[in-house]
Structure 1
């Protein structure tokens, strides 16, 4: 079992399907955690995976900042953020701020499936 107890799940539009599929695959492990998610991503996890998740604002509307504050306050153990490296993002500064805070506060951070699996302590499939 992972040392992670609170986990945020975030994905850019081009990666939401991938995050939902990953969450379905690891539903049992994720079900043992307190989950947070930004707007649409959180709604999709709740609706399509059936996991309870506290939904924050959409990333560009403040959700990334809300997660950053949670990290700074020590209320978030881990962040899974499936980033789309091939898309330009109008709120790139918010994403960079969130990642900077995760690094600064030594928060477990996964940006793809392999690191997300490692964060959960499960074998990569």
Structure 2
């Protein structure tokens, strides 16, 4: 892992509010990381949480695959992808490819809030931040 953890943030439409709330809760961690996101998710995080990040295309237009490419080339350390398991996604093959590339390259992947919390705890430990004094 690089000195500055590199995190991809992705959320299906029905999970975007959950991601915003989660990132706000842990903004002290995310401000110390290099952030990447698919287009719509990135725009919302920029607007609502005032984070700097690199955006790619939206998921259905290939953004999931762009992030997968970064995972495969070891340019992403962690992926937080809040998926909506109850809604069919037209780009499900792209979603599956991203999940697979995380498994193939042994990258930590969170697909719900519980696993995202575990990842952030690990990132917080890496950054040597305490839970006290979160912004």
TM-score range relative to shorter protein: over 0.9
Structure 1 residues 46-101: Cα deviation after superposition (integer angstroms, max 9, x where no partner)? 11011111111101111011011001100000000000000011100000000000
Aligned to 1:98: 98
Is this contact kept in 2: 1:4–1:78, CA < 8 A? no
Structure 1-normalised TM-score? Answer: 0.93
Could you tell me which runs of 5 or more consecutive residues in structure 1 were left unpaired when the two chains were aligned.
none
Structure 1 residues 3-59: Cα deviation after superposition (integer angstroms, max 9, x where no partner)? 870000000001001001101111111111000000100110111011111111101
Q: How many residues align?
A: 121
Larger radius of gyration between Structure 1 and Structure 2: 2
Aligned to 2:111: 111
Structure 2-normalised TM-score? Answer: 0.86
For 1:77 and 1:4, the matched residues in 2 are separated by: 10
Aligned to 2:127: none
Is this contact kept in 2: 1:8–1:37, CA < 8 A? yes
CA RMSD of aligned residues (A): 1.4
